[in-house]
């Protein structure tokens, strides 16, 4: 394993925080970004002496440029950029307000776009690098309808990531672009969602066992030395995707069953 400089957004809690602690323990030099200064500082302090905390609003392009500059000033290079910031929502499609849509798109989609636009030109200059976008299985299969615009934002992120990957593959083969799609993760993501989180539908509870943030982080960490295009962190989701794509009507009816 080669020591790398890794930028992680959304690092004050959940998967981002678990990933920071893991990579820090492995000797990587990490730059952590989030809005909540207290929580971010606590994560940095538990992630090794080389961890740098940079208070960042990922929905502001200028903040993302500042994050990159802070990482370069401290470490002189960046090897991996991980767009992990995200937020959920509990709204049906018909209940969504303009503000709901704007908030969720900015945190889950626009922030990752800013991250890619900030770091990829630098990677192009040095001829190598790795972008890792943390999406969601819900961007492929909208298993829970109350996530509505979150599912849509992640589906758009999936598409943007694939498009960038194809572009880099054609012209910059040493720039890797990975998409990570966790399923249910047992952290505070649901509690922090706009509108809270109701009980999962019966079909979803039967279908999707949960993973811890640490389990997901370990799989993401493996991408640093072994990049791959797409990663479903929960093996159960692969079969769900197959069933969904083969017969969406049957799949949706199955999700409505009570037992």
User: What pTM, to 2 d.p., does this model score?
Assistant: 0.92
- Look up residue 172 and give its two tokens: 């910059």
The predicted pLDDT at position 204 comes to: 54
> Which CATH superfamily hosts domain 5-256?
NAD(P)-binding Rossmann-like Domain (3.40.50.720)
CB 157 within 8 A of CB 145: no
The residue to which tokens 């593959």 are assigned: 169
pLDDT in tens, the chain (259 residues): 589 999 999 999 999 999 999 999 999 999 999 999 999 999 999 998 889 999 999 999 999 999 999 999 999 999 999 999 998 899 999 999 999 999 999 999 999 999 999 999 999 999 999 999 999 999 999 888 889 999 999 999 999 999 999 999 999 999 999 999 998 888 666 666 666 666 655 555 556 678 899 999 999 999 999 999 999 999 888 889 999 999 999 988 887 775 4
- State the Cα torsion 122-123-124-130 to the nearest 10°: -150
Which residues on neighbouring strands pair with residue 181, listed in sequence order? 232
Respond yes or no: is residue 150 known to be catalytic: yes
pLDDT in tens, 25-66: 999 999 999 999 999 999 999 998 889 999 999 999 999 999
Which candidate in 114, 150, 172, 244 is catalytic? 150
Residue 155 structure tokens: 């589906």
């Amino acid at each position: 394993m080669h020591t790398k400089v890794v930028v992680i957004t959304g690092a004050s809690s959940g998967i981002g925080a678990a990933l920071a602690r893991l990579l820090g323990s492995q000797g990587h030099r990490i730059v952590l970004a989030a809005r909540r200064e207290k929580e971010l500082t606590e994560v940095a302090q538990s992630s090794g002496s080389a961890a740098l905390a940079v208070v960042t609003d990922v929905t502001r392009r200028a903040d993302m440029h500042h994050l990159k500059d802070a990482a370069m000033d401290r470490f002189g290079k960046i090897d991996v950029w991980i767009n992990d910031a995200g937020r959920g929502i509990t709204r049906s499609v018909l209940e969504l307000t303009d503000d709901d849509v704007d908030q969720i798109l900015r945190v889950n989609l626009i922030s990752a776009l800013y991250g890619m636009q900030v770091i990829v030109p630098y990677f192009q200059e040095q001829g190598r690098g790795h972008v890792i976008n943390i999406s969601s299985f819900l961007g492929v299969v909208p298993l829970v309808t109350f996530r509505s615009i979150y599912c849509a934002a992640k589906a758009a992120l999936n598409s943007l990531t694939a498009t960038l990957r194809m572009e880099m593959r054609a012209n910059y083969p040493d720039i890797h672009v990975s998409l990570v799609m966790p399923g249910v993760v047992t952290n505070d993501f649901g509690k922090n969602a706009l509108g809270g989180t109701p009980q999962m539908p019966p079909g979803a509870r039967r279908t999707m066992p949960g993973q811890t943030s640490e389990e997901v982080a370990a799989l993401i960490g493996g991408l640093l030395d072994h990049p791959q295009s797409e990663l479903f962190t929960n093996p159960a989701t692969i079969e769900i995707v197959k069933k969904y794509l083969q017969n969406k009507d049957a799949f949706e009816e199955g999700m409505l069953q009570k037992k």
